[in-house]
Amino acid sequence: MKKKTIVVLTGAGMSAESGVSTFRDSGGLWEQYRVEDVATPEGWYRDPLLVTNFYNGLRRQLVTKEPCEGHRLLATLEQDYNVRIITQNVDDLHERAGSTSVLHLHGELFKVTSSRNPNDPSQIRTLPYDAPDVKIGDKAADGSQLRPFIVWFGEPVPNIEPAIELCGDADIFLVIGTSLNVYPAAGLLRYAPMGCPIYLIDPADVHCPMSVTHIRKGASEGMKEFISLLS
Ligand code: APR
């Protein structure tokens, strides 16, 4: 029998139990830093050193984190389903948990690229885990300053088109740990086929434009409940 396809949209709450900060919860990253300073092209032009150091710090933290049970349960679902993950997260915890189909909408923390042509694939490279820092003066292949391979606010989201296509393949749609505040990612639910069941795992209320089955739990406990609902 053909495997059903589960399309999963994840956000920062997916990695919260791994000890990675969310953005908009109380104590989240955007209470500690100004978005305009560290997550916009304007911030980068104003102070590349500040931005470089911010992402160096996030990389150093990520090295110390491990996937949580929720990441691992999602990976084991691949035994019985085609699981297609679309993540807003820039960490690599889905991959480290063993998920094989992960589309990153907002970039990847361990990748760096040209500040002149950030989306040119020939400019993107992956930093080694044991040397996660970038310095001002480190150059991309085209001679420009290396910048994080992160989609900042106000920049295009190159992976949104493939993400929209994936959504159309969903037999089941699962959303985990996102406040659905940031577009275009938050609009992806609208591309789920008509009648496709949508599940949402999040301990908090989330304003969602569609009718969903809300599993009001954290990612790991929520995944257990989701799996029990599938069987
Ligand atoms: N399990 C599941 N969800 C959780 C958990 C948990 N243990 N803890 C918190 N959450 C939920 C919160 O209730 C909230 O709804 O995770 C969500 C996190 O929301 P945000 O902090 O807004 O993160 P996210 O939606 O991923 O942000 C989207 O915004 O700043 C940008 O580029 C950044 O990709 C990010 C985007």
CATH number of the domain enclosing 164: 3.40.50.1220
- pLDDT of res. 26: 85
Do residues 17 and 89 lie in contact, with contact meaning Cβ atoms separated by under 8 Å? no
Same structural domain, 169 and 229: yes
Find the domain containing 138 and state its range: 21-64+109-150
Same structural domain, 119 and 33: yes
Model-level pTM? 0.97
Question: Does the C-beta of 148 come closer than 6 Å to ligand 1?
Answer: no
Same structural domain, 212 and 124: no
Same structural domain, 97 and 175: yes
Q: How far apart are CA 45 and CA 29, in angstroms?
A: 21
Question: Does the C-beta of 153 come closer than 6 Å to ligand 1?
Answer: no
The gap from C-alpha 175 to its chain's centroid, in whole angstroms, comes to 12
Amino acid at the residue 136: I
Quote the tokens at residue 190.
């609208």
- Give the chain's radius of gyration (CA, Å): 18
Please confirm, yes or no, whether 106 is among the known catalytic residues. yes
How does DSSP classify residue 87? E
pLDDT digits (tens, 9 = 90+) for 34-66: 999 999 999 999 999 999 999 999 999 999 999
- Residue 86 has a CB neighbour count (10 Å cut-off) of 23
Same structural domain, 182 and 90: yes
| Residue 197, preceding peptide bond in cis (omega within 30° of 0) | no
Q: Choose the catalytic residue: 94, 104, 106, 207.
A: 106
- pLDDT of res. 166: 98
For residue 11, how far is its CA from the centre of ligand 1 (angstroms)? 5
How many domains, in total, are found in the chain?
A: 2
Do residues 114 and 144 lie in contact, with contact meaning Cβ atoms separated by under 8 Å? yes
pLDDT at 83 over 90: yes
Question: Does the C-beta of 67 come closer than 6 Å to ligand 1?
Answer: no
Average pLDDT, the chain: 96
Same structural domain, 13 and 53: no
Same structural domain, 119 and 12: no
Same structural domain, 129 and 15: no
For residue 171, how far is its CA from the centre of ligand 1 (angstroms)? 24
Q: Residue of the nearest CA to atom 35 in ligand 1?
A: 88
Same structural domain, 13 and 114: no
Alpha helix stretches (DSSP H) within the chain: 29-32, 35-38, 41-46, 48-63, 69-76, 93-97, 160-168, 219-230
- pLDDT of res. 30: 87
CATH of the domain at 123: 3.30.1600.10
Question: Does the C-beta of 157 come closer than 6 Å to ligand 1?
Answer: no
